[in-house]
């Protein structure tokens, strides 16, 4: 048994665990490749869609069992109608209907530009309880030329046919009354059918902006 092999063997416990002394700069430097079956993590861009005075953005492909998590990132979502709410819904029939039953919770902090008011509030009016309606992300988004909403939603294991479909979201929104809103929401689609499409839209009027869909390795 060589010196390197003997040193390595002496730092393995009887249960097969590596002791800290077995990991040095030299030992790590000698690793030349990883097993192909080991996931190194990362985000895979699957789709980019841009709205330009559009009624909605829909993702109707690439949401399948390939990934256990899908993320949608929103960039400069601009409401064409003042005080519209940015919202989303899921589909189990490839986008023919966006009406998955959902239960959710949402709270948000806000601060006015003129510093006249600020608060952290549970938003019961934006929560759903076994509803097929669209879930809101923002509240009273502003339609001024420089106002927009930015954030993300994470959808977990949408292709499961055993479990409900959990999601979490966060969005920073420029409100119509010149305030910033930081909304946090989560919930689940109460269905054991696979979710295979997602649609985003304003509750009233059209929108501009870009949404990117990622698969998480």
Question: The domain 43-216 is classified under which CATH number: 2.30.38, 2.60.40, 2.60.120, 3.30.70?
Answer: 2.60.120
Higher-pLDDT residue of 181 and 20 is: 181
pLDDT value at residue 33: 60
Band (pLDDT 50/70/90 cuts) for residue 81 is very high
Residues 1 and 118: their CA atoms lie apart, in Å, by 69
pLDDT tens, residue by residue, 100-124: 999 999 999 999 999 999 999 999 9
Query: Mean pLDDT, the chain, as a whole number?
Result: 90
pLDDT value at residue 17: 63
pLDDT tens, residue by residue, 180-205: 999 999 999 999 999 999 999 999 99
pLDDT tens, residue by residue, 25-71: 666 666 666 555 555 569 999 999 999 999 999 999 999 999 999 99
Residues forming CATH 2.60.120 domain(s) in the chain? 43-216
Lowest mean pLDDT across 21-30, 61-70, 130-139, 155-164? 21-30
Sign of CA dihedral 162, 48, 187, 81: negative
Residues 16 and 72: their CA atoms lie apart, in Å, by 40
Residues 65 and 62: their CA atoms lie apart, in Å, by 9
Residues 67 and 158: their CA atoms lie apart, in Å, by 9
Average pLDDT over residues 91-106: 98
Whether the model pTM is above 0.85: no
């Amino acid at each position: 048994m060589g010196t390197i092999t003997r040193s390595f063997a002496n730092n393995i416990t009887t249960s097969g665990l590596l002791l800290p002394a077995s990991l040095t700069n030299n030992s790590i430097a000698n690793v030349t490749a990883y097993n192909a079956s080991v996931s190194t993590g990362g985000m895979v861009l699957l789709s980019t869609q841009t709205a330009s005075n559009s009624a909605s953005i829909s993702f109707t492909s690439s949401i399948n069992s390939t990934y256990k998590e899908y993320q949608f990132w929103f960039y400069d979502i601009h409401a064409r109608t003042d005080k519209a709410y940015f919202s989303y819904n899921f589909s189990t029939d490839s986008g023919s209907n966006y009406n998955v039953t959902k239960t959710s919770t949402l709270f948000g902090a806000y601060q006015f530009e003129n510093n006249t008011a600020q608060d952290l509030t549970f938003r019961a009016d934006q929560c759903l309880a076994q509803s097929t309606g669209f879930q809101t992300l923002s509240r009273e988004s502003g339609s001024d030329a420089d106002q927009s909403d930015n954030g993300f939603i994470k959808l977990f294991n949408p292709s499961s046919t055993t479990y409900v479909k959990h999601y979490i979201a966060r969005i920073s929104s420029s409100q119509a009354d010149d305030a910033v809103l930081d909304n946090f929401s989560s919930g689940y689609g109460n269905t054991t059918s696979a979710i295979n499409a997602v649609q985003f839209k304003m509750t009233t009027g059209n929108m501009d902006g870009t949404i990117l869909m990622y698969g998480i390795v």
